[in-house]
């Protein structure tokens, strides 16, 4: 007997856009949740549909990346007819999920207090830039801004260089995962207690929380984080990038045994016996003496040679890959981290899979929906609307301007 996907009994109504919110809900969709995207027909739907490059009309590879396995309903929530449909959907949902500015959910009428009369078990998840409280709640917030305001840029990059962001929108993606986690926790509690709730998440909170141990060191011990050359760890030495004869590798010694193994692998076993490098604290205090010795050693061989030696010795290490190299790494292939869907405009779309693996891997991925593609099925099959009801709602502008 084939088991249903883990979240096959979860339905979420999404008022989402761009990357952060859709990234979180896509992982739920991959796990089988029925994710119904509400898209504004007046604006061409989710703004992610219009992000270049690889964009044409209301399709883009950016949108495909964040919206597979979802359904789309074009609905104008600003008018009474569109609101009527939305409220019917709420009655059939476990959650309403949004990523809008912090003051917008209340204005749009999608908080728990505003919807509980329709569905007391409803979970209302809001992922915004700064949250639904505080002096910045009405400000728009984006990943780049969060990496600056949360202090990330001040500790990223080379010493003496300009403030630097991560090469990826990490705050957005982690914010989406946090929102997805909150939604699942809320749904479990609502099913247990029979009462729903609001879940107030923000990119700002996510970015601040991800300061983790440097924040603890600062708040408790007065530590001031600084940029470190070659992306070095703030306290463990060595734990950083090293240039080789033909490129770069990452070498990590987060346990004492790894330093001894590394010293032997680079033909310098005496380093492990040197009192200056005897333990974590000694190596941290004497890194100015140790690192030039290691850099000179790693410069003598190619990356491939060092990786073979270090791996054989059981030392944590890896190449500094390009994106193309990362996507063709044997481990990427072995873990089935590239999947394919078929699209009427883009043909075969190859993209990365979800890392959330629960039970047997899903193999029936559906491309991201076209704008409003699933409206008819949702209205008729889920809500039970007949032709006359659909025609009335269309004439009243529920799905956009009436013809």
Catalytic residue numbers read 233
Q: Which helix (H) or strand (E) holds 359?
A: none
Query: Burial, 293: exposed, middle or buried (Cβ in 10 Å; 0-12, 13-18, 19+)?
Result: middle
Encoded tokens for 379: 């209205």
Report strand pairing: 59-60 vs 55-56.
antiparallel
Q: Which helix (H) or strand (E) holds 120?
A: none
Contact 76, 399 (CB under 8 A): yes
Distance CA 211, CA 150 (A): 8
Residues for the chain: how many in total?
Answer: 403
Largest CA distance in the chain: 85
Distance CA 364, CA 361 (A): 9
- Over its C-alpha atoms, the chain yields an Rg (Å, rounded) of 25
Distance CA 333, CA 337 (A): 6
The residues with which 242 forms a beta bridge, in sequence order, are 249
How many C-beta neighbours within 10 Å does residue 117 have?
10
State the Cα angle at 313 between 280 and 275, rounded to 5°. 30
């Amino acid at each position: 007997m084939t088991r249903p996907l883990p979240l096959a009994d979860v339905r979420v109504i999404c008022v989402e856009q761009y990357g952060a919110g859709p990234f979180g809900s896509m992982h739920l969709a991959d796990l089988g949740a029925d994710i119904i995207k509400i898209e504004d027909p007046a604006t061409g739907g989710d703004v992610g549909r219009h992000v270049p490059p690889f964009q044409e009309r209301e399709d883009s590879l950016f949108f495909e990346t964040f919206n597979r396995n979802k359904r789309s309903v074009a609905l104008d929530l600003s008018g009474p007819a569109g609101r009527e449909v939305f409220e019917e959907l709420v009655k059939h949902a476990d959650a309403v999920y949004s990523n809008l500015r912090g003051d917008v959910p209340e204005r749009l009428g999608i908080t728990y207090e505003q919807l509980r009369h329709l569905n007391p078990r409803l979970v209302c998840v809001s992922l915004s830039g700064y949250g639904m409280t505080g002096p910045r709640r009405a400000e728009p917030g984006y990943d780049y801004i969060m990496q600056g305001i949360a202090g990330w840029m001040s500790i990223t990059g080379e010493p003496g260089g300009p403030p630097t962001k991560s090469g990826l929108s990490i705050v957005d993606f982690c914010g989406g995962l946090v929102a997805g986690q909150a939604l699942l926790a809320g749904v479990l509690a609502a099913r247990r207690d029979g009462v729903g709730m609001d879940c107030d998440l923000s990119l700002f909170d996510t970015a601040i929380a991800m300061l983790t141990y440097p924040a603890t060191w600062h708040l408790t011990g007065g530590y001031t984080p600084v940029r470190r050359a070659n992306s070095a760890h703030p306290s463990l030495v060595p734990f950083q990038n090293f240039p080789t004869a033909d490129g770069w590798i990452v070498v990590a010694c987060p346990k004492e045994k790894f330093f001894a193994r590394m010293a032997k692998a680079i033909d310098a076993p005496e380093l492990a016996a040197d009192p200056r490098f005897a333990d974590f604290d000694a190596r941290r205090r004497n890194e100015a003496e140790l690192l030039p010795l290691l850099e000179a050693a790693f410069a003598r061989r190619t990356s491939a040679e060092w990786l073979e030696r270090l791996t054989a010795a059981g030392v944590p290490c890896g190449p500094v890959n390009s994106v193309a190299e990362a996507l063709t790494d044997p481990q990427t292939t072995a873990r089935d981290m590239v999947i394919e869907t078929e699209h009427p405009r883009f043909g075969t779309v190859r993209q990365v899979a979800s890392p959330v693996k629960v039970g047997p891997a899903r193999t029936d991925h559906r491309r991201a929906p076209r704008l409003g593609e699933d409206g008819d099925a949702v209205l008729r099959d889920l809500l039970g609307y007949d032709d006359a009801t659909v025609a009335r709602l269309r004439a009243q502008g529920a799905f956009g301007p009436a013809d």
